[in-house]
Amino acid sequence: MVPVVPLIGMHSTTLSRMDIWSCLSNGEKMAKSQIIALNTYGMDGIFTFMDLTVEAEALGAKLEVSKEGIPMIRGGPVQSTSDLKKLKLPDPHKDGRLPVFLEATTIMADQVGSELSVGAFITGPFTLASHIMNPDRLLSEIVLDPFLVHKVVEFATEVTVTYAKALKESGAHMLAILEPMATQQILSTEMFREFASPYIQKIVRGLKHPLILHICGNTISLIEQMMQTGVNALSVDSKVDLLHIKKIVGDQVCILGNIDPVNVLLLGKPTDVEEEVKKCIQKMGRKAYILSSGCEVPLGTPTENIEAMIKSGHSYGKCIKTCYRNTTSHLQAS
């Protein structure tokens, strides 16, 4: 059967009418906003907000918050090997807003964790490295000083594992690794093999907990490598064709995806959403598949579209709620 889990983060504030930044800086508020979305939509799993700046901020990266309350990294703390040596592993219970996400996870797990799966996000090592060093610098150093890149990504991996363990202890049933910088539009397959994949494998080995790997954009040439990292599920963006993916992975790994977040969820009508839902389920069948958005549900998405996604997902996927709301077991069954 097909669980429906759109990647809802800050979109929940459309329903809760809460301020985005106050949710991102207060665990209680974040959990409240997400649970309001859950009670309205009735999806089969919930996550914390998606915020790729939280680990870098805890390491001392300069953060800027937009008028809408969205944080961005402006200036990573590391420009050389000596800067890197000065960095310490953050304490997830103390540093930056890491405790906010731990608290939100704990509250969500306490309040709804017995009924459905609660997930949290961690920033992938290569992407975190790009926040620690600035993206153009990191990408240039792949060619000029690959040894330095390895050192930064290695350190980022330790940060990620430390934080992930704390999220797991806080009650997260599953963790999604967000690795947008490692997409095939940026890295060649050889570069992915050298700078991204080994570090994701380290997380898999270090954590032993259900893991989803999400990479934005087109990832078709990376799918086999993504699968070989040993994660339980791959979350794919709308730029890849699910049939193509299915052909490569079969039932070996669970797939999440891939309703187009911008063209369908944000700009489309409920009937467009329904059409796309039908196509996804036709392509993927009901085994080892979780219907989701290709990436985070954009702010400004009409709530009718998400309602349509969940309703049609449940009816085409013939999801009997009480039995199949455990997204995590779906992840592990594959």
Partner 1 sequence: MPTKEEKTEIFECLAKAIVDHDPDETLKISREGIKQGVDPVEMIQKGLSTGMKRVSELFERAEYPLPFVLLAAKAMTLAIDQLKPHILKGRAPKPIGKIVLSVVKGDIHELGAKILKPLLETAGFEVHYVGVDVPAETIIEEAERLEADIIALSAFMVTTMIEQDLLIRALKKKGLREKYKVMVGGGPVSDLWCEKIGADGYAPDAISAVEKAKELMKQKRASVE
Contact positions vs partner 1 (CB under 8 A): 64, 66-68, 70, 72, 74, 135-136, 139-140, 142-144, 184-188, 191, 216-217, 221, 261-263, 266-267, 296, 298-300
Q: Which CB, 119 or 261, lies closer to partner 1?
A: 261
> Is the sign of the CA dihedral 69, 72, 75, 76 positive or negative?
positive
Q: Which CB, 186 or 234, lies closer to partner 1?
A: 186
Instruction: Tokens for 113, please give them.
Output: 């964790």
Q: Which CB, 104 or 295, lies closer to partner 1?
A: 295
Give the nearest distance from C-beta 50 to partner 1 in angstroms.
11
Give the nearest distance from C-beta 6 to partner 1 in angstroms.
14
DSSP β-ladder status, 63-65 and 71-73? antiparallel
Q: Which CB, 76 or 92, lies closer to partner 1?
A: 76
Give the nearest distance from C-beta 185 to partner 1 in angstroms.
7
Give the nearest distance from C-beta 195 to partner 1 in angstroms.
10
Give the nearest distance from C-beta 134 to partner 1 in angstroms.
9
Range list of H helices, the chain: 12-16, 20-24, 27-41, 54-58, 81-86, 98-112, 125-133, 135-144, 146-169, 189-191, 197-207, 223-228, 242-249, 270-284, 303-316, 321-324, 327-333
Following DSSP, what letter does each residue of 204-265 receive, concatenated?
HHHH-S-EEEEE-S--GGGHHHHHHTT-SEEEE-TTS-HHHHHHHHTTSSEEEEEE-IIIII
Q: Which CB, 44 or 237, lies closer to partner 1?
A: 237
Answer for the pair 258, 292: CB distance below 8 angstroms, yes or no: yes
Give the nearest distance from C-beta 43 to partner 1 in angstroms.
20
Q: Which CB, 36 or 266, lies closer to partner 1?
A: 266
Q: Which residues of 108-136 are buried (b: 16+ CB within 10 A; e: fewer)?
A: bbeebbeebbbbbbbbbbbbbbbbbbbee
